[in-house]
């Protein structure tokens, strides 16, 4: 059986159905009570509880062969959660631990990267067989429907610095692959598509695909930060610190990666941003 943490998050909602379609039994661990929805996704068992609670984690690990753990970004205790899940897996004798991290966690100016680096280090130093996934920004974070309606692609970091992306569907395909195949112990996989684009170039692609002018627009950091804080008030002021550091870093340096590893794992070319925009735009037209 495979344990998926943060099971009703963006990753879990895609990964659980994929694993069940492959014939895998999935146990879902989630903080909020989404039991019925997780069952509909295909989870055989659901545990509701906090990933910082050792008793919850010990129950969640019972009979588990593999774990897929993704921490809540910009949560002030993300690192503590990851370390707790690793320790519980170790106590339980889990065979394989897959950790969903972030590309370039060594960039310690970024608070969420610093958190994920701590978890990576703890996992590497544990007695567990592990695989670390390091995905780039998800294309799915771009709301194509909103861009089309407003005619603008907004960004809170400098419009001229390049960023890279990965399609979450490609990332989930790799997560399922490493969870169900041999040969991935001790590996760290960078997951990124071919694109290294700035906001102006992205808006040009959107204009071409949608047949209407889309402008890149720089918005104040507070626009993004306040929206996140309204959604997660329990996180306190930590997200503001994290987002401010992130947008300042991106404005200065950008954030790019390389597609070679993802292409090797997929045995095909990864989806690029234009393909994602076309796919989402077709949904708008229906």
Give pLDDT tens digits along the chain (286 positions): 999 999 999 999 999 999 999 999 999 999 888 999 999 999 999 999 999 999 999 999 999 999 999 998 889 999 999 999 999 999 999 999 999 999 999 999 999 999 999 999 999 999 999 999 999 999 999 999 999 999 999 999 999 999 999 999 999 999 999 999 999 999 999 999 999 999 999 999 999 999 999 999 999 988 888 888 887 888 888 888 989 999 999 999 999 999 999 999 999 999 999 999 999 999 888 7
Whole-number Å distance between alpha carbons of 227 and 282: 27
Given this model, what pLDDT does residue 95 score?
98
Angle between helices 111-124 and 238-253 (to 10 degrees): 100
CATH superfamily of 2-138+166-194+256-271: NAD(P)-binding Rossmann-like Domain (3.40.50.720)
Instruction: Copy the structure tokens of residue 159.
Output: 């419009």
Contact 104, 113 (CB under 8 A): yes
Q: What tokens appear for 229 in the block?
A: 């804080």
Radius of gyration of the chain (CA): 19
**Rounded CA gap, 255 and 250, in Å?**
6
Question: How much is the pLDDT for 110?
Answer: 95
Strand partners, 92: none
CA angle 62, 74, 186 (to 5 degrees): 50
DSSP 135-181: E-EEGGGS-HHHHHHHTEEEESS-TTS-EEEE-HHHHHHHHHHHHHS
What per-residue confidence (pLDDT) applies to 72? 87
Query: What token pair was written down for 113?
Result: 């990267």
Identify which of 221, 207, 211 has the alpha carbon closest to the alpha carbon of residue 154: 221
The full set of domain ranges for the chain reads 2-138+166-194+256-271
Residue 26 CA to residue 17 CA, distance in Å, equals 9
Are 115 and 151 in contact by the 8 Å Cβ rule? The answer is no
Instruction: Name the residue among 166, 196, 179 with its Cα closest to residue 261.
Output: 166
Q: To the nearest 10°, report the CA torsion of 184, 167, 73, 50.
A: -60
């Amino acid at each position: 059986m495979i344990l998926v943490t943060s099971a009703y998050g963006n990753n879990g909602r895609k990964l659980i159905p994929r694993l069940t379609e492959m014939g895998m039994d999935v146990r879902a661990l989630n903080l909020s009570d989404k039991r019925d929805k997780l069952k509909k996704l295909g989870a055989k068992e659901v545990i509701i509880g906090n990933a910082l609670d050792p008793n919850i984690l010990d129950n969640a690990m019972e009979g588990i062969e593999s774990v897929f753990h993704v921490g809540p970004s910009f949560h002030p205790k993300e690192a503590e959660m990851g370390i707790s899940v690793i320790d519980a897996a170790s106590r339980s004798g889990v065979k394989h631990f897959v950790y969903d991290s972030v590309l370039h966690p060594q960039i310690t100016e970024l608070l969420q990267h610093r958190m994920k680096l701590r978890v990576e280090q703890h996992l590497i130093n544990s007695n567990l067989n592990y695989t670390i996934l390091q995905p780039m920004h998800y294309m799915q974070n771009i709301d194509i429907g909103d861009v089309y309606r407003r005619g603008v692609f907004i960004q809170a970091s400098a419009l001229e610095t390049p960023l890279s992306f990965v399609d979450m569907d490609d990332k989930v395909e790799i997560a399922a692959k490493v969870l169900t195949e041999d040969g991935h112990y001790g590996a760290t996989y960078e997951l990124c598509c071919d694109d290294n684009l700035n906001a102006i170039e992205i808006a040009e692609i959107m204009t071409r695909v949608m047949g209407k002018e889309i402008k890149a627009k720089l918005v104040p950091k507070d626009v993004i930060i306040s929206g996140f804080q309204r959604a997660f008030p329990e996180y306190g002021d930590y997200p503001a610190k994290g987002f401010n550091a992130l947008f300042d870093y991106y404005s200065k340096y950008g954030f790019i990666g390389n597609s070679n590893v993802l292409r090797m794992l997929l045995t095909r070319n990864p989806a690029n941003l234009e393909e994602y925009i076309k796919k989402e735009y077709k949904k708008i037209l229906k």
